[in-house]
Amino acid sequence: MNRTLLVTGGAGFIGSNFIRRWLDDHPGDRLVNLDALTYAGNRATLRDLETRDDYRFVHGDVRDAGLLGQLFEEEGFDTVVHFAAESHVDRSILGPSAFVETNVRGTFVLLEAARAAWSPAPENARFLHVSTDEVYGTLSPEDPPWTEASPYEPSSPYSATKAASDHLVRSYIHTFDLPALITHCTNNYGPYQFPEKLIPLMTLNALMGKPLPIYGDGLQVRDWLHVEDHCDAITAVIERGRIGETYDVASGEGHTNLEIVHRILACVDRLHPEQAPRDHLITHVTDRLGHDRRYAIDPAKIATELGWRPRHEFESGIEATVAWYLNNEGWWTRILDGSYRD
C-alpha cells in the first residue's frame, strides 16, 4: 500500500537522509517536506529532488496550524515523520525559548493537526515522533544501558523539551487513540550534518588547521550510529512497529569524545598528509554547563520485535564520513560563509 508522508524538518541532517532513502526504497509513495529553514535547515541538500513528482518542498513552520491544516487537506497524509526540532545542547543553554517553541509547541500543533485530519484515522495511519536518548539523563560508567522502561531525567533545556514532547505524544495516544509511535536514538553521524556538530566540526577544523575544542577532559561517552542505520530503524518502526510503543535505537558502540577526535585526525592525516600530524590542534576548553557524562541505550526491543540491526561498523563508517566532508567542499563552504541561507 502506497503512503503519503509529511516529513517535518526534512531539510536537516537526519530528515534529508531519511527522505532520500525513503523515496529510493518506496516507489509510488508521495512525500512532502515541511521545513522552516532555520539556521540548520539547508534546502540545497535536497534541491535535486524538487523536479520529481513524488516530492514537494514547503517552506513553513510546524507551529503554523493553518498551514498544517491546509497541507493535510491538500495531500491526505496517512504518515507523519516528525523530525523538526531544535537539537543543539549548547544553543539550548544560551537560548532555551526557541527550544520550548519548536520542540514543545511545534509538536503540540502538529499533533492537533493530525488529530483533526484523522477523525477517524486511516487504517494505515502512523505518526512517528523522532526523539533522543538524552531524555533519560546521564549514566555513570557502571550503570547498565537505558531501556524503553527507564525513567526520564533530562538535564538540559534541549532534552527537557524533547521529554515534554514525548509526553505530549503519549497523551494523544492514550486520550485520543492517535496512531503514534516514538523512537529514541543515540548520536548520529554521516553526510549532510550541520558543521556545528562534533564530527563535521572536528573534521573541517582539522582540514583547515584550526583548533579542535574539546569540552573538559573529553572522556564523555556517547553511542554513535550511522544516519543510514537510523533511517532504516525509522522505516522499520513505521512499517512494523506497534502503535503506542517506544523503540530505542542504538549501535551499542560507545566512544569517548577524545577517541572520536583522534579517529577523525587519523582519517584526515591519511587523506590529507601534507599537514600531518595534527594532534597539536586538540584544545581542551571549559566544560559545558551540566554536561552529561555518558549515554547508552539498549536496542534489544527493536532488534527482537522488528528485526532491525545496524549495518555500519563505526570504524569504516567514520572513515567514509570524514571522506565525504573532504570530498564535498562545495556543500559545507556555503554553510560556513552563510550563502546557503540565500
In the three-class reduction of DSSP (H, G, I as helix; E, B as strand; rest coil), residue 319 is classed as helix
Residue 309 CB coordination number (10 Å): 13
83, 10 contact by CB (below 8 A): yes
Distance CA 183, CA 186 (A): 10
> Which entry of 35, 86, 133, 232 is annotated as an active-site residue?
133
Q: Is 43 helix (H, G, I), strand (E, B) or coil?
A: helix
The sheet with strand 187-189 has its strands ordered as: 187-189, 221-226, 254-256
Q: Which three cell numbers stand for residue 120?
A: 477517524
Closest CA to 169 of 156, 179, 159: 179
Catalytic position from the list 35, 78, 136, 158: 158
Q: Which of 35, 61, 78, 134 is catalytic?
A: 134
Q: Strands (DSSP E) along the chain, which ranges? A: 4-8, 30-35, 55-59, 79-82, 126-132, 180-185, 187-189, 212-215, 221-226, 246-249, 254-256, 282-285
Q: Is 134 a catalytic residue?
A: yes
Residue with cell 523530525: 83
Q: Identify the burial level of 134 via C-beta atoms within 10 angstroms of its C-beta, where 0-12 means exposed, 13-18 middle and 19 or more buried.
A: buried
Q: Residues with catalytic annotation?
A: 133-134, 158
